[in-house]
Amino acid sequence: MLNQIILVGRLTRDISVNRSEKGVKVATISLAIPRSFKNSEGSYDTDFIDCIAFDTVAENTSEYCSKGDIVGVKGRVQSRVVEKDDKKEYCTDIICEKITFLSSRKQDEAS
């Protein structure tokens, strides 16, 4: 069995790293990924996908990348159940295992 996803897109906002209740460093990154085909109106639609990064991956991405940079995400799809108002809601998350900085202004400035 295989659970792997690869995404390449632009960061839609600057990244901030927070700590979970258990003290784990967490960052949610949002990627804008244009589709490779045109819609009925002749333009390209864009998908906005949120991904979750932990610990060192979250810290490094926050330090070296900012809004507009292009990154590659290798990760996995993970589902979870959240209970709200005595109802179960199923959530699907993209968990980042590795983030590759494809174009980063901060990285270019450091060179």
54: helix, coil or strand? strand
* Phi and psi at residue 56, to the nearest 5°: -65, -40
Please compute the mean of the pLDDT values over residues 21-37 and round it to a whole number. Answer: 94
State the CATH class of domain 5-36+45-105: mainly beta
Going by DSSP bridges, is the β-strand pair 25-38/18-19 parallel, antiparallel, or unpaired? antiparallel
For residue range 54-71, list pLDDT tens digits in order.
999 999 999 999 999 999
Indicate whether 76 pLDDT > 50.
Answer: yes
Lowest-confidence pick of 24-28, 45-49, 80-84: 80-84
Angle, CA 35 vertex, CA 6 and CA 60 arms, to 5°: 40
